[in-house]
Each structure stands twice: as structure tokens, then as C-alpha cells.
Amino acid sequence: MTKVVTRFAPSPTGHLHIGGARTALFCWLLARHYGGEFRLRIEDTDTERSRQEYTDSILASMRWLGLDWDGELSYQSRRTDLYNAAVDRLLETGHAYWCSCTPEDVEAMREKARSEGGKPRYDGRCREKGLGPGPGRVVRLKAPAEGRVVFEDMVKGHIAVDVSELDDMILRRSDGMPTYNMAVVVDDHDMGITHVLRGDDHVPNTPKQILIYQALGWELPVFGHVPMILGPDRQKLSKRHGARAVVEYQSEGLLPHALVNCLVRLGWSHGDKELFTMRELVELFDGHNLNSSAAAFDFEKLAWLNAHYLRETPDAELAALVAPFVAKEGFPQATAAVIEPLLPLFRERASNLVELARALPMVLNHADSLEYDPAAVAKALTAEGRTHVAGVRELLAAVAEFSRESAERVIHDYVESKGIKFKQIGPPLRVALTGRLGGPGLPDVMAAIGREDTLARLDRAFGLSE
């Protein structure tokens, strides 16, 4: 079997969205499954709307999702000569011709066809004129007069279009620029693409592109068109549904693998299996089982997947993912190595990386920079509560070896010896130690911050209430 080469070809007119990310993921998986190549091409011929910042953003989102590409990144805007060389070749071989019809002429032809109940199309009047280049002239494909364009779509199955549905499309505009379909065919051929997997909004382009391949005598790739992603109401997915660009999901603290897992199930399945590691996906995604009916994006499932992977991601990996968020909370010095041992205290309680990062200052701060929640102070640090805090402080200062276990024992012994209930000591001790109510177990916090800071915090708490 020849090497599988796929590509993702975004237009940099916006950030990477859910639909594009799903296409990129499928193309990446197909290439990785067969040990082939995944290429990335920036389709930036729309100079009005294309922006470098969007290219940068799309690349950043691809990296974040773990979709690495092979070879050089290519930009369509830098390959005009290549496209024009192919147009020239079509002119030389008689598969294309110059056309002097103005846009008004073409519109009049379309109007006439419409009024006669026919398909609005260019009527081919310059086909046999043998015109050469000239101002305002375009180059058109000399499409076959009859027949059908047929292809087996990886997703949709057999597709056949009668050539009478297609007209002699423009290949080079009057400004000398090649058209979109021309550029795509030349690129896909030049890059050795074997599988063109893309959104089904491109289905109408495929027969046109096939005619260009045939005119150039080039072998066709396999085509596959994945249905668009719908919102929960089964309308086209949009911002209105709460859909975000990939960068927004990233900045809101989503884990990339949660998004990957959610996306892969939109239009592909492996039995009932819902959770896949990247390795499993690469192993299982062979281009089969692609669903031809549109899938709806499930926001609740995404949240569920995120919670799942927040628990499952190994500490070291999670620490690296959360570190930038912790830096944003004011702790740029907290490296992944600093964060990693603290994660077991907080990961179960957080539903995304932002929440996780916001919980960490509780232990990353020191006694002098800790912030106290006034309501929690007023509620828990009563006179009685402070007496207990002072009692525990004294015992903690005296333990031989300060650890999670010894801290736990101290609290337990104190409760026993005073004949009090844990709830009489828990909340005041917690507020004194962390500044607020709620959070991880107290011995865990004490062990994480160490004896010195534990005592300093308890001392500081005495200056806070009443």
C-alpha cells in the first residue's frame, strides 16, 4: 500500500473552531494510524480576510491538541507560480481556454438559462474561439461535454454528478490569480495527498476538482466529507449554542484530551467505547466507521470528559498543564515541579484548570501573603475557636517530626483530651490556616506548607479577629 498522506488546510480568517479541529483530528489520526504523513497547508489566498495572527492561533491550537504535522508548513499565497504553471499546461494541452466574457455577459447567460428553466451556467461561448491572453480575460476549463463525475466518498459512499451540472469553471481570474479549486488540486497533487478528508461543505467542489485532476492527467486522491457538527438543537453549531474557538476552551481551563475525546466521537465510533487514550485512537482510527449523518455537540459530555481527565491525567502532566494558569494567578515562580506534589490535595475538587489554579494559592502563599475571607473569619474564629487554635498550635510546635500523620494525630489527641467535637476545632483551625472555609484535609495542607509556615499562619490568625 502506498504511504497515506493527509492534510489539513485551514483558511486563516478566524481562530480554529470545533468543526475545523475535528477535521484536523480525523486527518491526523488517519495519517498516524497508517504510519503516513499529516501535512498542514494555510489557505490564505483571500488576502482581505486572511491574517497572520489567525495562522499563529490555529497553529497554537493544533499544538495544544497534540496534532503535530510533518514537513514544512505551506502557504497558498506563496505558491501562485506553481498554480499558474498548471493553468498554462492546461492551455497548452487544450484542456483550458481564454474567455473574454465580462461578468455582466455571464450574468446575462445565467439569467437567460434561469428564465428558460435551465441551470444557471456559463454557456461555453468562448470554448472554440481560440482567444489568447488579454486584459479582462479569464482562463476556463474545457469541461467534458457529457458524462458523469463519479467518486466513492469515504464517508458518504457513492457520489455521481452529471457534467451538465457543472460549467466551464474559471481557473485563472482576470487579475492573473488562480481560483480556489485550481490551487487546491495543484497543492494536493504536489504534496502527494492520498486522502482528502474535509467538511461536507466542500462536496460541491469535489466534482469540479476531479475534472481538473482528469484534465491534468493526475491520479485522484480518495475523498471523504464529514458532516457538519450540529448544536444540541440540531441546528448548525454556533456561538449561540455556547460553542467556542479552541483557544477559548484552552483559556477557560479545559484539558486538551477532553476536547480530543469529545471531538473524535462526533462522526466516528468504535462500538460503545467513549474514552480513548491518544494511543488507542491512533490504533483504532482506520478511516472506517465514519458516520454520514451529522452529530450534535454535547456540552455536558465535554464537561464530564474534562472532569474525568482531570482525575485521570498523571500528576506530572497535569502540573505542566496547570502551571501557566497558576502563573496567571500571580505565581510565575511555581514550576510544574513545585505544583506536582500539591495536586493530590486539589484535583478532585476542581472541574477545570482555572479552578485548580485558583485553589493552589492556599498553599503557594506564605503566612504573610495569605488572604483571609472576612466572612469566614467572623464565622469561625470566635473566642472559643481561637483558644482551640492556640492549643493545637502549641502541640504542633512540639511534635518531634512534622508530617501529615503527626499533624493528624495532634488534632485527634487535642479533640480527645478536651472532650470536644471535631467541628469545634475544624473550622477555626481551617480559617486560621487557609483563610477560608472549605478545601483539602487540614493535615494535608499542613504537610504541604511545612511546620514553619503552619505555625506562622496560626500566629497571624490571632491578629485577625475581634
> Using CA atoms, how far apart are residues 96 and 338, in angstroms rounded to an integer?
65
Q: Is 44 in the site for ligand GLU (CB under 6 A)?
A: no
Are 454 and 433 within 8 A, CB to CB?
Answer: yes
Which of 11/465 has CB closer to ligand GLU? Answer: 11
> Using CA atoms, how far apart are residues 117 and 26, in angstroms rounded to an integer?
41
Which residues in the 221-280 window bind ligand GLU by CB under 6 A? Answer: none
Which residues in the 74-113 window bind ligand GLU by CB under 6 A? Answer: none
Catalytic residue from among 3, 239, 328, 418: 239
Q: Is 9 in the site for ligand GLU (CB under 6 A)?
A: yes
What is the amino acid identity at position 386? Answer: R
Q: Is 184 in the site for ligand GLU (CB under 6 A)?
A: yes
Q: In what order do the strands lie in the sheet with 96-99?
A: 96-99, 138-141, 170-172
The candidate with the shortest Cα–Cα distance to 319, out of 288, 296, 301, 343, is 343
Q: Is 187 in the site for ligand GLU (CB under 6 A)?
A: no
Beta bridge partners of 140: 97, 170
From candidates 4, 5, 6, 11, binder to ligand GLU by CB under 6 A: 11
> Using CA atoms, how far apart are residues 464 and 119, in angstroms rounded to an integer?
82
Residue 88 Cα to chain centre, angstroms: 39
Least Å distance between CB 281 and ligand GLU? 21
Least Å distance between CB 76 and ligand GLU? 9
Q: Is 202 in the site for ligand GLU (CB under 6 A)?
A: yes
DSSP state letters, 203-264: TTHHHHHHHHHHHHTPPPPEEEEEPPPBPTTSSBP-GGGT---HHHHHHTT--HHHHHHHHH
From candidates 4, 5, 6, 10, binder to ligand GLU by CB under 6 A: 10
Least Å distance between CB 350 and ligand GLU? 35
Q: Is 43 in the site for ligand GLU (CB under 6 A)?
A: yes
> Using CA atoms, how far apart are residues 275 and 262, in angstroms rounded to an integer?
9
Is 423 a residue of the active site? no
Burial grade of 374 (CB within 10 A; 0-12, 13-18, 19 or more): exposed
Least Å distance between CB 46 and ligand GLU? 9
Which of 10/440 has CB closer to ligand GLU? Answer: 10
Torsion angle of the four alpha carbons 258, 224, 186, 169, in this order, in degrees rounded to the nearest 10: -120
Which of 46/413 has CB closer to ligand GLU? Answer: 46
Least Å distance between CB 55 and ligand GLU? 12
Which of 10/443 has CB closer to ligand GLU? Answer: 10
Q: Is 318 in the site for ligand GLU (CB under 6 A)?
A: no
Query: Which secondary-structure segment (H or E) carries 428?
Result: helix 422-434
Which of 16/370 has CB closer to ligand GLU? Answer: 16
Q: Which residue is nearest to ligand GLU (CB)?
A: 198
Would you call 297 helix, strand, or coil by DSSP? Answer: coil
Which of 140/198 has CB closer to ligand GLU? Answer: 198
Q: Which stretch binds ligand GLU (CB under 6 A): 5-13, 126-134, 326-334, 399-407?
A: 5-13
Active-site residues, by number, are: 239
Binding residues (CB under 6 A) for ligand GLU: these are: 9-11, 43, 184, 198, 202
